[in-house]
Amino acid sequence: MKFSKKALVVAVLAATTMAAPAIAAKKLLLKTPIAFGSHLPALGTPIKWVSEELKVISGGNLKMKIYEPGKLVGAKEILDAVSTGKVNSGYATAGYWQGKIPAASLFSAVPFGPEAGEYMAWMYYGNGLKLYQEMYDQAGYNVHVIPCAIISPETSGWFKKPIDKVEDLKGLNIRFFGLGAKVMENLGAGTVQLPGGEIFGALEKGAIDASEFSQPAIDKLLGLHKVAKYNYFPGWHQQATIFELLINGDTWKKMDKTQRALVNTTCKASMAQSIAEGEASQFDVMNTYADKGVEIRYWSDEMLGHFENSWNEVAATMKKEDKFFNKVYSDLTEFRSNYDLWEQNAFLPRKTR
């Protein structure tokens, strides 16, 4: 009996000790405005998935409350809102801050840049993550950045008329994103950056002549196929696009190791979740194009050459104008140069079109 009582006491003490960290864990609510509707597949759905997973795996100690675009702060205001502590987190893509930080788009999508696997390799095993955080630090933003989703190529845009030669772009007014917009401007087009919800109306009324936004499954929800019938591929401007979770710097410092690990690991899982969802969602939509009168067009080698040459000119100018852009782009270029040895030998050649 004495032995049994002692054993029982020891067992109870051990169980209590093991449970103590979970019981004593700090509770944290991340109030997270997002730049993309949570209904948009692989664009807004990843952060919703993250919020659901965090609640489960933290046992309710770490929660995330999602605020749809514009409900708490505007999409373009998320960085400032998180930095100043108006909110303690936010979900967007760094390309939105290109006007404030020239290098930001290099952590979002790069024309003729890396595909998802290569992009993640540079981010996690090259200098990508280090430079990503350094960018915000040296620009004076009080945020901690975590890559939290990635999608594969977007379409190259929806046009109302065929574009057969570079001269056809001159004078067009196009909704275009990030560094790709600078490429288009360099080729004579005018560009504007409209939020997704305004694109259909602008196309329908003729305020813009063409637009790119995202992948087919997402563009379908915006109804772009109803007002523009020529959908161009490949998405040379966004072969892969990264989305970020920004956490206020003071909030991040107060988070314990477990909370930080939970967020980091869940976001890393979201990178796999988002690209898988995106890859699985496109072909069913594209299979309906013919019935909707949409024509899938693939850019000619000549046109892709014009786009690439224009990008090289834009990149050279931006490297001269901004030291940190030069630092990041040079590092990414060196990584990709080394990666080429693997890519050229390990993968099957692309299908001839």
What pLDDT, in 10s, does the model give residues 262-283?
A: 999 999 999 999 999 999 999 9
Can you give the pLDDT at residue 296?
97
Same domain, 124 and 180: no
Look-up of token digits 């275009």: 176
Joined together, the tokens standing for residue 291 give 């019935």
Q: Distance between CA atoms of 187 and 312, rounded to whole angstroms?
A: 12
The contacts of residue 58 (CB under 8 Å, 6+ apart) are 25, 259, 262
Average pLDDT over residues 98-115: 96
Nearest to 39 by CA among 260, 234, 196, 256: 196
pTM of the predicted model over 0.85: yes
Can you give the pLDDT at residue 203?
94
In a domain, 197, yes or no: yes
Same domain, 230 and 307: yes
| Domain harbouring 72, CATH code | 3.40.190.170
Same domain, 147 and 124: yes
Same domain, 70 and 58: yes
In a domain, 16, yes or no: no
Residue 49 belongs to domain spanning: 24-152+239-281
In a domain, 349, yes or no: no
Same domain, 114 and 94: yes
In a domain, 286, yes or no: no
Same domain, 232 and 244: no
Q: CA torsion angle for 273, 276, 281, 286 (degrees, to 10)?
A: 150
Instruction: Tally the domains of the chain.
Output: 2
Specify the amino acid at residue 337.
S
Residue 69 carries which DSSP code? T
Quickly state the pLDDT bin for 193 (edges 50, 70, 90): confident
296, 74 Cβ separation under 8 angstroms: no
| Domain harbouring 169, CATH code | 3.40.190.10
Same domain, 125 and 257: yes
Same domain, 168 and 228: yes
Same domain, 72 and 145: yes
The contacts of residue 21 (CB under 8 Å, 6+ apart) are 258
Same domain, 258 and 115: yes
pLDDT at 7 over 90: no
Can you give the pLDDT at residue 16?
42
pLDDT at 9 over 80: no
Q: Distance between CA atoms of 103 and 164, rounded to whole angstroms?
A: 32
In a domain, 119, yes or no: yes
In a domain, 257, yes or no: yes
User: For residue 204, which phi and psi values (nearest 5 degrees)?
Assistant: -65, -40
Average pLDDT over residues 94-110: 96
Can you give the pLDDT at residue 79?
98
In a domain, 342, yes or no: no
Among candidate residues 259, 281, 303, the one where a domain is terminated = 281
Same domain, 270 and 200: no
Same domain, 201 and 57: no
In a domain, 186, yes or no: yes
User: For residue 48, which phi and psi values (nearest 5 degrees)?
Assistant: -65, -45
Write the pLDDT tens digit of every residue in 125-174: 999 999 999 999 999 999 999 999 999 999 999 999 999 999 999 999 99
The contacts of residue 157 (CB under 8 Å, 6+ apart) are 174, 176, 210, 211, 212, 231, 232
pLDDT at 25 over 80: no
Among candidate residues 216, 251, 281, the one where a domain is terminated = 281
In the chain the beta strands, taken as DSSP E runs, fall at: 28-33, 62-67, 89-92, 143-151, 157-159, 173-175, 190-192, 210-211, 230-233, 241-248, 295-298
Quickly state the pLDDT bin for 196 (edges 50, 70, 90): confident
